[in-house]
Amino acid sequence: MITVYGMASPNVTKITLMLNELGAPFDFRWVDIFGGAQFSDDFLRMNPNHKAPVLIDEDGPDDEPITLFESGAILIYLAEKFSALLPPSGAPRYEVFKWMMLQKTGFGPMCGQYVHFTRFAPPGNDYAVERYRREVMRLYGIFEGRLAESDYLGGEHYSIADIALFPWAKLHDDQGLSWDGFTYLPRWLAAVQARPAAAATMAHVAELSARDAERLKAATPEMIDVFVGRRTIARS
């Protein structure tokens, strides 16, 4: 049995989308991030970096349980376990890796900083907001160029590279990031959204988003500070 710990964040959505694409059954366990559940001793034993997603596979390598964190590592693990959505060898495999890593090391962190400074930072951060907005749009431009020459990020076939980008790209309108002038990113997004696994995943995300929103409303200022990293949670 596979168990996924998380909430409605894009990084968690990558994993549930991957599992739905694979048709692999899994148990989803919601993590109350606005209540500090990611700092509990139980969660820290799974991920010392106190972030979601976390995946536990009871039927891991050598028939032993395995616990994984970091969405990129989890996507690679699942692709190899199920021999799907990743070329088995050669240059096509590394083509997928390089585009997935651009999302992981560049685009995802820049989007995260942009969201932080637009939603959680105090007034007076115009420079930071504009810096991260420009960097996110620059990276969108790189993806647009890639998709002008290829149906999907890793090549002609849908792969874990597309799964890595999709949950972030789907939020561009909500984040106030215009795709005016882009042709190939909208085409790609529509193609991914049309997949049955994406529809099922986003229905689940909508339920999780409502639950997260309720907890955010109830969160104290102190817990918001912990969530965004302005203070360290008190531990006994």
* Mean pLDDT (the chain, rounded): 96
The DSSP bridge partners found for residue 66 are 57
Question: In angstroms, rounded to a whole number, what is the distance separating the alpha carbons of residues 144 and 183?
Answer: 7
Tell whether 178 and 95 lie within a shared domain.
yes
Q: Each residue of 41-51: pLDDT tens digit?
A: 999 999 999 99
Residue 104 domain flag: yes
The token pair at 165 is: 């980008």
Q: Each residue of 113-154: pLDDT tens digit?
A: 999 999 999 999 999 999 999 999 999 999 999 999 999 999
Supply the range of the domain harboring residue 55. 2-84+197-228
Q: What is the pTM of this model?
A: 0.96
pLDDT at 233: 67
Q: What is the mean pLDDT of residues 33-38?
A: 95
| 9 CB-near residues (< 8 Å, 6+ apart) | 52
pLDDT at 199: 97
The CATH number of residue 66's host domain is 3.40.30.10
Q: Each residue of 84-94: pLDDT tens digit?
A: 999 999 999 99
Tell whether 116 and 189 lie within a shared domain.
yes
pLDDT above 60 (res 234) = no
Q: How many domains does the chain have?
A: 2
Closest Cα partner for 52 from 66, 71, 28, 26? 71
Residue 14 domain flag: yes
Tell whether 206 and 153 lie within a shared domain.
no
